[in-house]
A and B are shown apart, each in its own frame.
Chain A
Amino acid sequence: MALIGNLRDIKLPSLIQLNCMEHNTAKLTIERAGRFGFVYFENGQVTHAEYDPYIGEEAVYKLLGLVDGRFKVESDVRPPVRTIHTNWSNLLLEGMHKLDHAQGDGENIYNKMFERLLTIRGVNMVWVLDAGGETIFSTDQQGASQLLNVVFIIMQANRMAAPYSRQPVRFVSILTGDKRLIITPYQREYIVIELDKKTKSDTVIPLIKQAIGKI
């Protein structure tokens, strides 16, 4: 029988520790926002891992940064290939060490922000775009090309307010036939959040502000 749960309840280091100490042969699948990661155990050692585009130890290190995501452990599933030869305890130690060092880097900041935004009810996807409108981080690797020209939208918003406000626009909420998009400038970048159509902007924006402001 498979063990199923969420990383919010059992952290990945605990899952790895459990499988290794029990000398398990198993496959651990993690899914977060449509992106999948895999960790394979063979006789109590971590022998292979994947987290697109990472393979091997690097995939484990990236997966250790996740604080949220559904997981499933299937017993007696062997790895397709061996890419990790480091002892599991050394692998975990190195991973935690890297994680500590990554606290300040951009990817980690956005990962933490994504985690908070994705816990808001109605939020489906989040993108971070650079000043030129190119996607630099997203919770979903697909769909970035479907985004509107956010830079143009914010420009239009700022240019329409002139008679009343000299402030830059803080949020733009666009309701289309099947979804709501919320766009907000963030430092020199833009955050785009896709929500269920029924989610009201005035109820979700205070939560978004809180999630973004917590960085």
Chain B
Amino acid sequence: MIERWLHEIQNLPSVKGSFIATMRGAVMESHGLDIGTEDMQNIAIRILRIHALTFQADNPLTEIEFFWSDLFIVGKISQNVLLVTICDNPQVVSLLRITINVSLSHIVQEKKIYKKAKSHAINPSHLLRKAQLEADEIKILAGK
């Protein structure tokens, strides 16, 4: 069933694929992407670090979009599940958002996903601990 919802997203124009991760960045499922789990985890962790910043500011993000000249990434968080969608460019974004919302609302209801996501639920600030970051990242965080 999860595969089906990720497939729905991939059917949209310019979408390369998508994956879902826990709030610790562990990849639970992916579809259509030609990158390894490690790369997916790297993307998830970096999105979750930004989420942690907004969480610390008492205004946690629910959605984040990144625009490059040749890449578009959307991250959506709901009920301890992060859904990341990777696209060549932002085409039919309205339709993409609706599909992501519908898919994620179904995905979080999947028992397998729900259980693992719940077991991985952590205080988001954990991802900003010094041990998790590179030296230049620690410096930038400390400077603010």
Closest residue to A168 on the B side, CB-wise? Answer: B68
Evaluate contact between B137 and A176: CB separation under 8 angstroms: no
Closest residue to A153 on the B side, CB-wise? Answer: B50
User: Which residues in A have their C-beta under 8 angstroms from that of B54?
Assistant: 148, 174, 176
User: Which residues in B have their C-beta under 8 angstroms from that of A173?
Assistant: 64-67
Asked, given contacts A167-B69, A200-B93, whether A177 binds B60 with beta carbons under 8 Å apart, the answer is yes
Chain A min CB distance to B128 (Å):
9
Give 18 new A-B contacts, CB below 8 A, not counting A148-B57, A164-B71, A167-B71: A132-B143, A133-B140, A149-B140, A149-B141, A149-B144, A151-B144, A153-B53, A156-B46, A161-B73, A164-B35, A167-B68, A171-B65, A172-B65, A175-B61, A175-B63, A176-B54, A176-B59, A177-B59
Contact with B along A118-162 (1 / 0, CB 8 A): 000000000000001100000000000010110111011101111
**Cβ of A104 < 8 Å from any Cβ of B?**
no
State which size class the interface on B falls in. Answer: 35 or more
The 7 closest A-B pairs by CB, nearest first: A175-B63, A202-B93, A156-B46, A171-B67, A149-B144, A160-B46, A173-B65
Chain B min CB distance to A126 (Å):
18
Asked, given contacts A149-B140, A149-B141, A177-B62, whether A159 binds B46 with beta carbons under 8 Å apart, the answer is yes
Chain A min CB distance to B47 (Å):
7
Residues of A participating in the B interface, judged by any CB pair closer than 8 Å: 132-133, 146, 148-149, 151-153, 155-157, 159-165, 167-179, 200-202, 205
User: Which residues in B have their C-beta under 8 angstroms from that of A172?
Assistant: 64-67
CA distance A171 to B68 in the complex (A): 7
B26-70 CB contacts (< 8 Å) to partner A: 35, 39, 42-43, 46-47, 49-50, 53-54, 57, 59-70
14 A-B pairs whose Cβ atoms sit less than 8 Å apart in the complex: A149-B144, A153-B50, A155-B140, A157-B46, A157-B66, A159-B42, A165-B71, A167-B69, A169-B67, A175-B64, A177-B59, A201-B67, A201-B93, A205-B67
User: Which residues in B have their C-beta under 8 angstroms from that of A168?
Assistant: 68
**Cβ of B90 < 8 Å from any Cβ of A?**
yes
Contact of B68 among A169, A200, A202 (CB under 8 A): A169
Evaluate contact between A202 and B90: CB separation under 8 angstroms: yes
Chain B min CB distance to A31 (Å):
27
Chain B min CB distance to A144 (Å):
12
Evaluate contact between A167 and B49: CB separation under 8 angstroms: no
Evaluate contact between A174 and B70: CB separation under 8 angstroms: no
Closest residue to B43 on the A side, CB-wise? Answer: A160
**Cβ of B108 < 8 Å from any Cβ of A?**
no
